[in-house]
Each structure stands twice: as C-alpha cells, then as structure tokens.
Amino acid sequence: MKREVIGYSKMESELLDNELASSPFFFASPNNTMLGKGIEMECHQPIAFSALADKANAMLQDAKKSESDNPVLFGIVPFNEKNPTKFIIPEQLFVSSSTRALRQNALTPANARVISSPSGHHYKQGVSDLINLFAHTELAKVVLSRTIDVATDTDIQQQTLLRNLLSINAKGYTFAANISAEQKLMGASPELLVAKKGSHLISNPLAGSRPRSDSDEQNQHAINSLLNTSKDLHEHGLVVEEIERIMSKYCYNLYTPMVPSVIETNTMLHLSTVLEGQVNDPAINVLKVAAELHPTPAVCGYPREKAYEAISKLEQFDRGYFTGMVGWCDSRGNGEWVVTIRCAEVQKRQIKVFAGAGIVNGSHPQSELDETGAKMGTILTAAGIQLNDLLTA
C-alpha cells in the first residue's frame, strides 16, 4: 500500500473534488484526515464480532510488502453481526493534518420531501412501552431509534455535504464510506468508541443529551440540568460502568473520572467521560477491544442481549451500519473506531437519516422524540435540507 502525506488544503480541495466519488473511504479525526484510493484488498461479508480482529489482522499481514511495512485497513461494522462488515485496504492512502478550520460551504436549500417515516406518535408509543417494560423486567436502558427517507429534486452535493460536516464537527470524527456503487454512508460522529496509540488506550462514551440552543443562557441551563438530573446521570453511569468493565480486562492504570463533563456539538449537548489506560499487550489490535465494547449501552442498552430483543420488536427497520462502528487500524494494532451516529445513507437524490435516544426510567416520550429530531438536524442541515417541523411531529 502506497502512503502519501499531503497538505490539508490539497486534501480539502483537490482530493475531495476529484476523488471523493470513487474513494472507498474518507475518515477525519480531530488530528488528521485520511482518504483511500483504489482497493488492494476487500472483504464484505457477515463476521462474528469476536472474529473481527482476527480477520483484520489476517488481511493486514497479507497486504504487507516487507517486515517494516505498515498497511492500514478501513472498516464499517454493522449494529448486528448478521449484517455484512466491510473491510478495505486501499491501493493508495492520502493523509493530511486536520481540515477542521474550514468554513461551511453555502448550499442552495434543496426542495425535499419525506417519502418514508414512522410517525412521531409511533416513536413516543415505543418509549412508553419501554418504560412499562422497565417495571417488570431486568432491562435498565434501551436505545430506541428511528429513521426517515428524504427525496430531493436536485442532486445531493456530497463534497459540499462532507465539507459542512467537517466544519461543524471540529472535535469529532467525520466519515464517508462506500456501501455500494450508488450509496455512501456519511456522518459526523462525536463519540469515540476506542482508540489505541502505541500502548495508550482511550474511550469517550456519550450518554445523556439535550438539544443545543442558539441562546447561551438556555445552553447553560441545559448543561446544569444534565449534571444535576438523576435520569441522565443514571443513563450515563450504565454506559461508563460497562466500558470500564471491558477496558479493565485489557488495561492497567485505567483511569475513569469520578463524574462526567458536558461536551457540545452544533446541535447537541452530551454527558461525556474519557477513560484512559495502558494496554497489557502493546501488540493487541485495537479492533479486539472495539469488538468487545460494541455495541455499548450508549447505542443498544443494558443488559445488551435483552436490549437487542426489545429493539428488534419495537423498531420497524434494519439499522444496518447505524449505531455500528467505523474506523481504521494498522498492522501494529493502532487505530481509531467511532460509533456510527449522526449519519445517513446518501444516494444521488435520496438520503436516509437515522437518530436514537437512550430510554431509561424517567424518560419522557416527547422529550426523546425532540432529541432524535435535533440529532437528525445535524446531517440534514449540512445537506441543505430543512425539515424541522416534521422531525418532532
């Protein structure tokens, strides 16, 4: 695999304009940006989560041209392991420093119409059903999601959409990956599942959210509420405890802050905890840890298997790669895997947008519906589509 370091301006302009449509993947973190060109090796099939790291390691070893060679594998992993995972090792990898200082690109508002969407009433009924389940089962949390399909009268400008996602996701992770010849998975995730750099391992789960306002005063009130509301602290605590349990199997000197903080995106406020430690085995592939963490209670629920069952009964669609994971790893085990949220499946004149909310005791159906609408707004706004009134009705 040929690797080339380029300037961020060349990445932002020349490569996005000329290569994005055919590129198998684009991935940007707060520190660097990667774009693949061509496909040297590919796997597209269902893989048990427990076997993901072994499959990735085998592909990476086969791709090595010499003992010192360090190829990079990019992957998108579904929410349910019965769906296909997609691994790609590109023929050529372009890498630049962060493109996050870019300004948003102006978009002509697109004429759009919703062509498929369960009603807000249906979603709120699902929240109520879950709250009833909590009273007489061991379920403590379930992430209930919904989706809408939107058709546009003009072509969706994928390069502009990606640039806008980059500009509004300065501290997060932006991605675009080919699902098929006609469809890309595109998004701007704020949530790091796990990353490994040498022997250092880090995870940053998010759980407990509020829509962000244009008013600083209202945002401060929402931040105070997140840090002082039992429902949100309980929801967040379930996620952190599970991630801490799994990371402790692979780490020593694991540090978990005693209390969460709040992070902001353009549309949301989230309770956040950063867990950090040193891995017992520096050679371990980060995907081994990611696969055991996935799916966390932040996107599935707790206990995991019971939450899976509730989701399959209440949600009327296949999540596919939504609430899966997307990222990369190299042959030395380093890499970054993020939770596939704030995302959409994008075609020429159609976009399928996903969002979910964590339901626990104390959840209010309308508030959870409003939260999913605010999350959907991230990518719809970046695409120049305004459906605000329809997202919470």
DSSP state of 94: E
d(CA 315, CA 323): 13
Catalytic residue among 12, 19, 81, 191: 191
CB 47 within 8 A of CB 81: yes
Nearest to 331 by CA among 286, 384, 280, 297: 286
Give me the catalytic one of 141, 184, 288, 306. 141
Burial class for 182, CB neighbours closer than 10 Å (0-12, 13-18, 19+)? exposed
3-state DSSP helix/strand/coil % of the chain, to nearest 5: 35, 35, 35
What is the b/e burial string over 225-237, where b = at least 16 CB atoms within 10 angstroms of the residue's CB? ebeeeebbbbbbb
The verdict on whether 191 is a catalytic residue reads: yes
Spatial neighbors of 53 by CB under 8 A, at least 6 apart, are: 285, 287, 288, 291
Helices (H), the chain: 8-10, 16-19, 52-63, 120-136, 158-168, 216-226, 230-250, 286-293, 304-314, 365-382, 388-391
Sheet hosting strand 206-211, strand order edge to edge: 206-211, 268-272, 261-264
Q: How far apart are CA 286 and CA 336, in angstroms?
A: 8
Residues with Cβ within 8 Å of residue 183, at least 6 apart in sequence: 345, 346, 347
Q: Is 141 a known active-site residue?
A: yes
Active site residues: 141, 191
